[in-house]
Amino acid sequence: MTTTARTKYRPATELVYVDNSDGKNPKDNYNAASMPIYQTATFKQSSSAQMGEYDYSRSGNPTRSHVENHLAKIMSAKRAFAVNSGMTALDVITRLVKSGEEIIAGDDLYGGTNRLLTFLATHNNVKTHHIDTTNADTIIPYLSDKTRLVLLETPTNPLMKIADIPRIIQIVRERSPNALVVVDNTMMSPYLQRPLEMGADIVYDSGTKYLSGHHDLMAGVVAVKDDSIGDKIYFTINATGVGLGPFDCWLLMRGIKTLAVRMDRQQANAIKIAEFLQEHKFKVHYPGLKTHPQYELHAKMSSGPGAVLSFETGDVELSGKLVELTRLWGISVSFGCVNSLISMPCRMSHASIPAEVRAARAMPEDLIRLCVGIEDVDDLLEDLYHALTGSGALKLAN
């Protein structure tokens, strides 16, 4: 065991440890153990000719600066920004794309992401090419001097497919060096995966999910590795007024500090539940199972499989009955909460994607998504078994 001073600690420690040795965090005259909430819209100035560090909370607030500095540290970013939702984070990023330019994205995307990309196509003349990101080479025919963003989800939502981030980045750099690689890291959080360290240009998270962890907060995070990109992101945030409010910044910071203990428990529960479903002959989508086709690739990029999985029953109506028979599993479109959640993506979170598009992308209508919480895993398994048997899904699978 080393006893020398460290400049960077292990991920679980970095989530909790707030270091101000670089002087970036706002000064607090009272040395508060928890960052103060500067619940103010404006800041008084010493003169009419010279403005201080903060003048108007739309442009900046000490509480927001504090959580943004902490996010930049844990995400290995040059700069990080806190905004009012995950979709706002993506919207801010897509403002980097001009009319006539193009985006390349996966074919298994969160429904809200798909909706925003469709809007860009119909209103802003920004075309999106949807590809199978599990095969890095499928991107090659679509790369050109028009390509502005390459948007990746890995694992994808809800089929849990894995993209080879380093390989895709290598291909993009060789063929479209002006394109930016953007990764939605919400499924993993910076505790399990840090795409900026793999070479990505921008990473964003829905802070509503694991970073917050309690579903009492809406937030989004954008992290960049380059100051020039950061300046453009900040301009849009300031101009549109979508920066996260001070109280929500405080809640977000509080959630981040418990991310490691929550994720460790949720992930351990998820592994047991995935194994249980697989033992009962269901087709399970989860990168923590060795039967997952990209198990080894995911393990190289991440330190864990996360706590979201999906499975197929083989019958849409049985899936609906199963979801409604659960008691501990709350029926909800979201994930990342301490409470376990269950949903049918094609009827809920991904319902905005037309049925024919879902079919073309091989998204099963009977798919059930489980977002595993911190409850006792035996209670979760018993409740799930009750729903499986009561709906008839277990009999069909076997």
Catalytic residues: 58, 110, 184, 209
d(Cα 380, Cα 232) in Å, to the nearest integer?
A: 45
Q: Identify whether the C-beta of residue 176 lies closer than 8 Å to the C-beta of residue 102.
A: no
Enter the tokens of residue 376: 């006792």
Residue 49 per-residue DSSP state: S
| Helix ranges (DSSP H) in 75-193 | 86-94, 111-123, 165-175, 189-192
d(Cα 31, Cα 380) in Å, to the nearest integer?
A: 43
Q: If you search the block for the tokens 């500095």, which residue do you land on? A: 69
Longest C-alpha distance within the chain, in Å? 76
- 3-state class (DSSP) for residue 310: strand
Q: Which string of DSSP letters, residue by residue, matches 172-210?
A: HHHH-TT-EEEEE-TTTHHHH--GGGGT-SEEEEETTTT
Q: What angle do CA 228, 35, 67 make, to 5 degrees?
A: 25
Q: Where are the beta strands (DSSP E) in the chain?
A: 79-83, 102-106, 127-131, 147-153, 180-184, 202-206, 220-224, 283-285, 308-312, 330-331, 341-343, 368-371
Q: 281-294 burial, b if ≥16 CB within 10 A, otherwise e?
A: ebbbbbbbbeebeb
Handedness of CA 343, 349, 355, 358 (dihedral sign): negative
Residue 266 per-residue DSSP state: H
d(Cα 87, Cα 173) in Å, to the nearest integer?
A: 27
Q: Identify whether the C-beta of residue 90 lies closer than 8 Å to the C-beta of residue 113.
A: yes
Secondary element (H or E) of residue 277 = helix 259-279
Q: 156-171 burial, b if ≥16 CB within 10 A, otherwise e?
A: bbbbbbbbbbbebbeb
d(Cα 114, Cα 105) in Å, to the nearest integer?
A: 9
